[in-house]
Amino acid sequence: MLMRSNEPDWDALVDEPSARVSRSVFVDEAIHALEIERIFNRCWLFVGHESEIPNPGDYVTRRMADDHVIVMRGPDARVRVFLNACTHRGVKVCRADSGHARQLICPYHGWTYDTAGHLLTTGFDDFYAGKLDKLALGLKAVAQTDTHGGLIFATFDPQAVSLADYLGDARFYLDTYFNRTPGGMVVLSPPQRWVVPANWKMGALNFGTDNQHLYPTHLGPTAMELLGAPAKAVVAALGASHQVSMSGHSTVNTVLPPDQVIPYCGLHPDLIPLYEQTLSPVQLDILRRNVVTVGNVFPHLAWIQPALDVERSGNAVAGGTLRVWQPLGPHAMELTSWYLAEREASDEWKQKVLEAGVRGFGMSGVFEEDDVDVWSSVNQMCRGRQARAESASFETALNFLPVNDFAGPGTAYYPMLPESVQFNLLRRWKALMRRP
C-alpha cells in the first residue's frame, strides 16, 4: 500500500488530478480495518424500515459493519438500537432474524432485559451484596438512532451531525421513491440476505452511479427483455438524464425526453393521485418521467426502482428496492435487500411489485447475477500483487463540470454517463479516511 509515515498516502490512493484510484482500496486488509473505524463507526447506517417492527416488542437483528445489533420497538413505541451482546459476558442475546418478544433472555446465564433494553434480573441478584447497578447494565444502546420517512438509521458516533443534516439533499430523492404517499411505504417480506465475494465499494459505486455498465454488463437478451420501457426509449433516456452528487450520496433519475415520456412508467394508476397529494411539483415531475432510478446513501444504503415487465404482459411494474452493502472484510459483503410498496397499494399490486423486485434484483435476479459476476472478478484479479499495484480509472469524470439546468437539489452533471458522481463518492471516502 502507498504509505506516508504511518498513515496511508490518501492523495496517492485517490488521485484527484488524474481521477485514478489505487486498486488496493478494494482489496487491502489494512484499508478495510481503517474503513470500519473511520467510516462505518462514524457514519449514519441504515438498519431497517419502520414497517418491519410496527408493534411494541417487535424486533429485527442486523449488522452495523462488524457489530451485531437489535433494532427493537420499545413499550413507548420508540425504536431503539442495542448491541446484541449481553452485558454480563458478551454472549449474543437475540438469535432470530426477526420476531416479537416481551423480554430478551440471554441463553448463557439468563440475564433478562425488557424491550427498552433495561436489565430486569440477573437471576442471581442476591449474590451482588446490594451492589448490583441494574441501570448501568442495560443493553448498550448505539450513540444515536433516528428515522427519516420510515427508514431507520443509527450511528456509533455521539458527535455525528443529525440524521437530517447527514442525509441532506438525498432526502428529496429518498422521499420521491420511498415516502411518496400519505401512508408511506411498507416492506413486502423479510429481506433477502446473501454473501457476495466482492468489496462493498463495488456495490456503492455501481449504484452511485455506474451508468456506463448498463449495456455492456446487462446486454444479454434476458435482462434487456425485462425492461418495462422499450430499449430505444431507455437509450434516449441515458442521453437525456442527469446524475446528481450530494456530499458522497449519489443518484440518477433516468427520465425520458418530453416527446417519449411513458407517464409514471411501472406505477399503478390508482396511486398517482396520492403522489400528487404528497410530493412537490419537482419531485412529481421526476417521478412522472422516470423509467429507472438508482442511488446510494453514503456509505452503504442503496436503492433501485426499475420498471420491469417480468410477466412479458406489456405492463411494467416498478419495484422499490432498498439494499445494504455490509462489509465482511475487503473481499466480501453481505447484501441485504428489501422490497417495498406503498401502504395504500392493493395486495395484488404488492405481490407484483415483490415479484418484479426479486426477479430483477433479488439474490438470483437477472440483473443481479450480471452485476455480481463483474464486481467479484475485481477482487479475484486484484488479489494478485501485480494487478493490485495498478490503478482503476475514473477519468471520464475529469471532462464534465456541474450544470445548473436540473431542477432537483444536489450537484448535477450532464449527461448521466461520465464517471463524475462515482468519483465524488470516492472523494467523500478519502475525506473521511484521512480523519483519524
Binding site for ligand FES (CB under 6 A): 86, 88-89, 91, 106, 108-111
With respect to ligand FES, which residue has the nearer C-beta, 108 or 128? 108
C-alpha dist (Å) from residue 139 to 80, 114, 146, 358: 10, 9, 18, 35
Distance, CA of 162 to CA of 362 (rounded, Å): 32
With respect to Fe ion, which residue has the nearer C-beta, 367 or 406? 367
| Residue 91's binding partner out of Fe ion, ligand FES, none, with CB under 5 to 8 Å set by partner kind | ligand FES
Q: Which position among 28, 35, 114, 371 is part of the footprint of Fe ion (CB under 5 A)?
A: 371
Distance, CA of 76 to CA of 161 (rounded, Å): 25
| Residue 106's binding partner out of Fe ion, ligand FES, none, with CB under 5 to 8 Å set by partner kind | ligand FES
Q: Provide, rounded to whole angstroms, the least separation between the CB of residue 354 and ligand FES.
A: 38
| Residue 435's binding partner out of ligand FES, Fe ion, none, with CB under 5 to 8 Å set by partner kind | none
With respect to ligand FES, which residue has the nearer C-beta, 88 or 434? 88
Distance, CA of 252 to CA of 290 (rounded, Å): 10
Give, as one character, the DSSP assignment of residue 92: B
Distance, CA of 36 to CA of 55 (rounded, Å): 32
- The stretch near Fe ion (CB under 5 A) out of 31-39, 99-107, 342-350, 367-375 is 367-375
With respect to Fe ion, which residue has the nearer C-beta, 211 or 278? 211
Q: Provide, rounded to whole angstroms, the least separation between the CB of residue 86 and ligand FES.
A: 3
Strand partners, 80: 72
Distance, CA of 247 to CA of 45 (rounded, Å): 15
With respect to ligand FES, which residue has the nearer C-beta, 91 or 432? 91
Distance, CA of 38 to CA of 175 (rounded, Å): 28
Phi and psi at residue 23, in whole multiples of 5°?
-70, -15
| Residue 383's binding partner out of ligand FES, Fe ion, none, with CB under 5 to 8 Å set by partner kind | none
List the one residue out of 173, 422, 218 whose CA is nearest residue 322. 173
- The stretch near Fe ion (CB under 5 A) out of 7-15, 73-81, 163-171, 371-379 is 371-379
Q: Provide, rounded to whole angstroms, the least separation between the CB of residue 94 and ligand FES.
A: 12
Ranked by CB distance to Fe ion, the top (closest) residue is 371
With respect to ligand FES, which residue has the nearer C-beta, 14 or 106? 106
Q: Provide, rounded to whole angstroms, the least separation between the CB of residue 91 and ligand FES.
A: 4
- The stretch near Fe ion (CB under 5 A) out of 144-152, 161-169, 364-372, 417-425 is 364-372
Q: Provide, rounded to whole angstroms, the least separation between the CB of residue 139 and ligand FES.
A: 11
58 binds Fe ion (CB under 5 A): no
Q: Provide, rounded to whole angstroms, the least separation between the CB of residue 402 and ligand FES.
A: 53
| Residue 108's binding partner out of ligand FES, Fe ion, none, with CB under 5 to 8 Å set by partner kind | ligand FES
With respect to Fe ion, which residue has the nearer C-beta, 355 or 371? 371
| Residue 371's binding partner out of ligand FES, Fe ion, none, with CB under 5 to 8 Å set by partner kind | Fe ion
The contact mask relative to Fe ion for 314-353 (x = CB under 5 A, - = no) is ----------------------------------------
| Residue 4's binding partner out of Fe ion, ligand FES, none, with CB under 5 to 8 Å set by partner kind | none
> 170-178 and 281-289 are packed helices; what angle lies between their axes, rounded to 10 degrees?
60
Nearby residues of 303 by Cβ (< 8 Å), 6 or more positions away = 174, 177, 178, 207, 293, 294, 295, 296, 320, 321, 322, 323
> 366-382 and 200-207 are packed helices; what angle lies between their axes, rounded to 10 degrees?
130
Could you tell me the three cell numbers for 372? 455480481
Distance, CA of 139 to CA of 145 (rounded, Å): 15
With respect to ligand FES, which residue has the nearer C-beta, 12 or 120? 120
Q: Provide, rounded to whole angstroms, the least separation between the CB of residue 365 and Fe ion.
A: 10
With respect to Fe ion, which residue has the nearer C-beta, 342 or 371? 371
DSSP per position, 13-33:
HEETTTTEEEGGGGT-HHHHH
Is-contact 317 352, C-beta < 8 A?
yes
Q: Which residues of 56-78 are buried (b: 16+ CB within 10 A; e: fewer)?
A: bbbbbbbbbbebbbbbbbbeeee
Q: Provide, rounded to whole angstroms, the least separation between the CB of residue 150 and Fe ion.
A: 26
Q: Provide, rounded to whole angstroms, the least separation between the CB of residue 77 and ligand FES.
A: 27
Could you tell me the three cell numbers for 329? 472484510
CA dihedral 123, 124, 129, 134 (to 10 degrees): -30
Q: CB count, 10 Å around CB of 212?
A: 15
Q: Which residues of this chain interact with Fe ion, rule CB under 5 A?
A: 371
